[in-house]
Amino acid sequence: MLVTWVVTFVVSAYQTLMHAGVCNEPAQAADLGEAQRSLVLLAALVAIPWAVTLWRTRYRLRVGLFALPALAPVTVWAVQALQASPADYVLSWCLY
């Protein structure tokens, strides 16, 4: 579960920083679309091992109870990304 959280955080932070606007400018619509697709793909990739484990094990209740908190952050971030506008992807700092 901890590995799922770490991978989710690192990939979503990378996607957000890679596709965010710079210097208080909103992100481009194409960048936002790419970030949304990437976060939905991340949510699917994170859910696949849990789904396979749930399908293959006889301890479905235990695996399901561990899967819920592990999948909650990536699901929330994917839903937030799908509802976001380019103005939501604004960075307030500049690199130059």
pLDDT digits (tens, 9 = 90+) for 20-47: 656 667 777 777 777 778 778 878 888 8
Tokens read off for 25 = 């400018």
pLDDT tens column, 39-93: 788 788 888 888 888 888 889 888 888 888 888 887 887 787 778 777 776 666 6
pLDDT score of 34: 78
Q: Residue 53 and residue 82: Cα distance in Å, rounded?
A: 27
Angle (deg, nearest 10), helices 60-82 and 29-56 = 170
The answer to pTM > 0.95 is no
CB 63 within 8 A of CB 57: yes
Q: Please answer whether residues 54 and 60 qualify as being in contact, where contact means their C-beta atoms are separated by less than 8 angstroms.
A: yes
Query: Which position has the token pair 């932070």?
Result: 13
Residue 40, C-beta contacts closer than 8 angstroms, at least 6 positions apart: 78, 81, 82
The Cα–Cα gap between 94 and 47 comes to 35
